[in-house]
């Protein structure tokens, strides 16, 4: 089995969107304004393929952003045709992201005929009030029926959801995660809302009609959502917006919980709550602590900027965090001296 998964991202900006969702400015989020030409697509794939070991990685072409199935069928076909030859060069599949109200039999059949494996739906919420306030242009019934159609046609279903949308609450977000699991989502992405420049949300923010989540609250909600998805064996393949240049420089952000290492913050917070009970072991205060954890968790246990290690060092005289092949998930073993 190939160990790593790699996406070659091709961004399709919002040109096919019939609505302007209040939080969206794809140009600023993706750093791109027009649909790439066939030549640009092939150049991009070849550039990526030079850097990826296709023997060791499962590589997919991913049409992200915008509304893939909102493009005319002929345009969708042109884009799919442009990537098909690469199935002989180690590409194992195609994934697209799109809106639930642009899912129908015709476009699903086209995607099937070009071996698209995964369809990610920008659901954002299954709550009607939140969808209405975000000007998504569809309701929860439509979102549910699109998910069902995608599954029925044998695609993997990805659900993209947002946290902190106007009218949303933690309860509504947990319900969205619950429905995603009921609809047998194969993967999820969680995006806390960030107020991007030149969006309707910026106007609402300026008029004090919308307040984004604090970074702290966004991390806390994401922890709960992530743990819920994990409990249902649904991998969360993205937490937080992809850090484009404009987002990283802060140029395109008005306000909100953007952080380039958002995933790390969430994982650190989960480990913080797992490790906190150690601080209640008063009789061990000032002892030397060795924690053994799964190799993939070492950095998260230590925490973003070593925040968890510092928390432990305030209590114990020495803290070592060591990898152990024996352990997996979020299990740990302690040793005291
Ligand atoms: S559907 Fe997606 S790409 Fe289109 S405006 Fe809304 S969020 Fe942006």
Q: pLDDT digit string (tens) for 287-306?
A: 999 999 999 999 999 999 99
**Domain for residue 273, yes or no?**
no
* Cα angle: 86, vertex 88, 94; to 5 degrees: 45
Residue 236 backbone phi and psi in degrees, to 5? -95, 110
Name the β-bridge partners of 200.
Answer: none
Pair 253, 299 in one domain: no
Structural domain for 290, as ranges: 282-336
Centroid of ligand 1 to alpha carbon of 203 (angstroms): 17
Residue 88, pLDDT score: 78
CA of 18 to the centre of ligand 1 (A): 9
How many angstroms separate the CA atoms of 60 and 92, rounded?
Answer: 6
Residue 272, domain member (yes or no):
no
Across 172-207, b (16+ Cβ under 10 Å) vs e yields bbeebbebbbebebbbbbbbbbbbbeebbbbebbee
Distance of CA 322 from the midpoint of ligand 1 (Å): 44
Q: How far is the CA of 41 from the centre of ligand 1 (A)?
A: 21
* Shared-domain flag, residues 183 and 330: no
Short-list 37, 125, 107, CA closest to 68: 107
In-domain check, residue 268? no
Q: How far apart are CA 67 and CA 110, in angstroms?
A: 15
| CA-16 nearest atom, ligand 1 | 4
Judge if the beta carbon of residue 122 lies within 6 A of ligand 1.
yes
In this structure, are residues 337 and 288 in contact, taking their beta carbons and an 8 Å threshold? yes
> Quick one: 219 and 304 in the same domain?
no
Q: Is 124 in the pocket of ligand 1 (CB under 6 A)?
A: no
**pLDDT attached to residue 91:** 86
Question: If you measure from the C-alpha of residue 11 to the centroid of ligand 1, how many angstroms do you get, rounded to a whole number?
Answer: 12
Residue range 248-267: mean pLDDT, rounded? 95
User: Quick one: residue 164, left, alpha or beta (phi over 0 = left, psi -120 to 50 = alpha)?
Assistant: left
Q: How many domains does the chain have?
A: 2
Q: pLDDT by residue (tens digit) across 156-180?
A: 999 999 999 999 999 999 999 999 9
Please tell me the distance from the alpha carbon of residue 315 to that of residue 45, in angstroms, as a whole number.
51
Whether 323 and 250 share a structural domain: no
CB 317 within 8 A of CB 286: yes
Atom of ligand 1 nearest to the CA of 23: 7
Instruction: For residue 15, name the pLDDT band (cuts at 50, 70, 90).
Output: low
DSSP three-state, residue 58: strand
200 lines ligand 1 (CB under 6 A): no
The string of pLDDT tens digits covering residues 49-105 is: 888 888 888 899 999 876 899 999 998 999 999 999 888 788 889 999 999 999 999
Examine the domain organization and report whether 238 and 296 are in the same domain: no
What is the C-alpha separation between 108 and 153, in angstroms, rounded?
Answer: 8
Ligand 1 lined by 107 (C-beta under 6 Å): no
Same domain, 182 and 66: yes
- Which numbered atom of ligand 1 lies nearest the CA of 66? 3
Q: Is the CB of 26 under 6 A from ligand 1?
A: yes
Question: Tell me, what's the pLDDT at 79?
Answer: 92
Report yes or no: 271 and 291 within 8 Å, Cβ to Cβ: no
Per-residue pLDDT at 63: 93
Cβ of 298 below 6 Å from ligand 1: no
Length of the chain equals 337
Q: Are residues 110 and 140 in the same domain?
A: yes
Residues 129 and 174 in one domain: yes
Looking at residue 19, which CATH number applies to its domain? Answer: 3.20.20.70
Q: Tell me the per-residue pLDDT of 133-160, one tens digit each, with 9 for 90 and over.
A: 999 999 999 999 999 999 999 999 999 9
Determine the residue of 26, 27, 142 to mutate for testing ligand 1's pocket, defined as the one with the most ligand atoms within 8 A of the Cβ atom.
26
- Residues 83 and 170 placed together within one structural domain of the fold: yes
Residues 110 and 34 in one domain: yes
Instruction: Tell me if 67 CB under 6 Å of ligand 1.
Output: yes
Residues sharing a CB contact under 8 Å with residue 310, sequence separation 6 or more, in sequence order: 303
Establish if 153 belongs to a structural domain.
Answer: yes
Give yes or no: residues 228 and 299 share one domain: no
* Between 66 and 185, residue with greater pLDDT: 185
**pLDDT per residue as tens digits for the range 212-226:** 999 999 999 999 999
């Amino acid at each position: 089995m190939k160990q790593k998964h790699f996406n070659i991202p091709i961004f399709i900006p919002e040109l096919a969107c019939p609505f302007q969702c209040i939080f969206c400015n794809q140009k600023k989020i993706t750093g791109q304004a027009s649909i790439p030409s066939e030549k640009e697509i092939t150049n991009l794939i070849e550039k990526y393929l030079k850097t990826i070991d296709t023997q060791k990685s499962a590589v997919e072409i991913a049409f992200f952003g915008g509304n893939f199935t909102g493009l005319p069928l002929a345009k969708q076909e042109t884009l799919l045709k442009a990537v098909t030859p690469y199935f002989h060069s180690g590409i194992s599949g195609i994934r697209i992201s799109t809106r639930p109200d642009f899912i129908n039999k015709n476009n699903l059949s086209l995607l099937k005929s070009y071996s698209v494996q995964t369809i990610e739906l920008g659901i954002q919420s299954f709550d009607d009030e939140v969808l209405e306030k975000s000007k998504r242009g569809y309701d929860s019934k439509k979102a549910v029926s699109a998910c069902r159609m995608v599954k029925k046609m044998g695609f993997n279903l990805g659900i993209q959801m947002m946290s902190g949308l106007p009218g949303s609450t933690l309860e509504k977000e947990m319900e969205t995660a619950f429905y995603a699991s009921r609809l047998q989502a194969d993967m999820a992405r969680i995006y806390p809302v960030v107020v991007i420049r030149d969006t309707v949300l910026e106007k609402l923010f300026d008029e004090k009609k919308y307040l984004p989540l604090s970074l702290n609250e966004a991390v806390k909600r994401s922890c709960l959502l992530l743990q819920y998805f994990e409990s249902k064996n649904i991998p969360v393949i993205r937490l937080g917006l992809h850090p484009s240049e404009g987002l990283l420089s802060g140029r395109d952000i008005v306000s909100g919980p953007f952080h380039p290492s958002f995933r790390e913050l969430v994982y650190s917070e989960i480990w913080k709550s797992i490790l906190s009970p150690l601080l209640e072991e008063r009789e061990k205060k000032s002892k030397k602590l060795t924690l053994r954890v799964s190799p993939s968790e070492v950095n998260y246990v230590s925490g973003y900027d070593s925040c968890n290690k510092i928390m432990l060092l305030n209590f114990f005289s020495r803290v070592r965090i060591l990898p152990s092949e024996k352990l997996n998930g979020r299990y740990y073993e302690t040793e005291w001296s």
